[in-house]
Amino acid sequence: MTATITPVATSTHEEIYRVEDASVGLTGFIAVHSTLLGPAAGGLRMRPYVSAEDALIDVKRLSEGMTYKNAAAGLALGGGKAVIIGDPAVQKTPELLRAFARAIDSLNGRYITAEDMGMSPADMAILAEETSSVAGLADGDFASGDPSPITARGIFNAIRCAWEHHTGQIDLSNRVVSVQGLGHVGWYLCDLLNTAGAKLIVTDVNSAQLDRAVATFGATAVAPEDIYAAEADIFAPCAIGGVLNSETIPQLKVSLVAGGANNQLATPNDAIALHKRGILYAPDFVANGGGIINVATEILKISNRSRFVADRLEALQVTMAAILKQAKADDVTPDAVAIATVQAKMAPKAA
């Protein structure tokens, strides 16, 4: 059985498709936002969206974010994303994944997928049975494996860079960092911060993980709703999107927000609200680019992987520093400068 692939009308993206195969319980979307800089790369997410409209909104937003993230990271990749509607714990089957992989394959390399929420390296291996447009594999010549340690390294660099920009000091020892989310990224970040001598205030909805952070890093645990008002120097959101909003921003007692979660700002106005409060915000799609840099080594078949990753992480930090400097000079939000920076990279060059 072949999935039905129906184009969705769009004026903001190059291509969007609705993918359906009732025989395997599949409904999903593939969005190619831009291929201006290269094939559109971005992960596949499976979530129990309440409606197809919600899934479509998410895939559009996420694929645009990937265009910005890949451009900021200096990669020869455009931005795309795919979503499947359903609870991965119960509805994810090899047949469903294979059907979706065939839909990805029909785009002939214009969209390249990888892991995102609800997906694992084992799932990527199933997709790879049907398409070569997949990365994030555990095995193979260019397999890049878990991107989280590199993502965390990039965020750590962003924190140091932004802290130096804001305070003139690069040393994080005895600085207090509140970390929201102790999953793949948050855990590795806590490890780096702990090694740098920072004091940690942590939260997670998973209480066992919270206990582990207290035992491992000597961190102070707080309830999820108390992380925003924690007395800290730096807040690192590493869990979910939309956490910087009109309810949480007034509670913040930090002077810097820099973390790994995607889409931390609930709305563009929230960047302005942070700016007005004198809280520096390190744009998420620049801070968390380490993960896609790692995945890019697989997509682009880079032979000297560690050199590529080190060079790109360093360049990412230079980009972050330039964005923060420009924002300060112009008295505008770093988010606005970051968006303008990547849009300039994608603008057609004058003859």
Task: Write down the catalytic residue from 60, 69, 81, 199.
Answer: 81
What is the nearest approach in angstroms of ligand NAD to the Cβ of residue 291? 3
Nearer to ligand NAD, 14 or 58 (CB): 58
Nearer to ligand NAD, 20 or 259 (CB): 259
What is the nearest approach in angstroms of ligand NAD to the Cβ of residue 210? 9
Residue 9 CB partners (closer than 8 Å, separation 6+): none
Which three-class secondary structure string do you get for the chain? CCCEEEECCCCCCCEEEEEEEHHHCEEEEEEEEECCCCCEECCEEEECCCCHHHHHHHHHHHHHHHHHHHHHCCCCCEEEEEEEECCHHHHCCHHHHHHHHHHHHCCCCCEEECECCCCCHHHHHHHHCCCCCECCCCCCCCCCCCCHHHHHHHHHHHHHHHHHHHHCCCCCCCCEEEEECCCHHHHHHHHHHHHCCCEEEEECCCHHHHHHHHHHHCCEECCHHHCCCCCCCEEEECCCCCCECCCCHHHCCCCEECCCCCCCECCHHHHHHHHHCCCEECCHHHHCCHHHHHHHHHHCCCCCHHHHHHHHHHHHHHHHHHHHHHHHHHCCCHHHHHHHHHHHHHCCCCC
The binding site for ligand NAD (CB under 6 A) comprises 147-148, 151, 180-186, 203-206, 209, 224, 238-240, 260-262, 288, 291
Nearer to ligand NAD, 109 or 241 (CB): 241
Nearer to ligand NAD, 3 or 234 (CB): 234
Nearer to ligand NAD, 69 or 199 (CB): 69
What is the nearest approach in angstroms of ligand NAD to the Cβ of residue 228? 10
What is the nearest approach in angstroms of ligand NAD to the Cβ of residue 207? 10
Active site residue 81: yes
Active-site residue list: 81
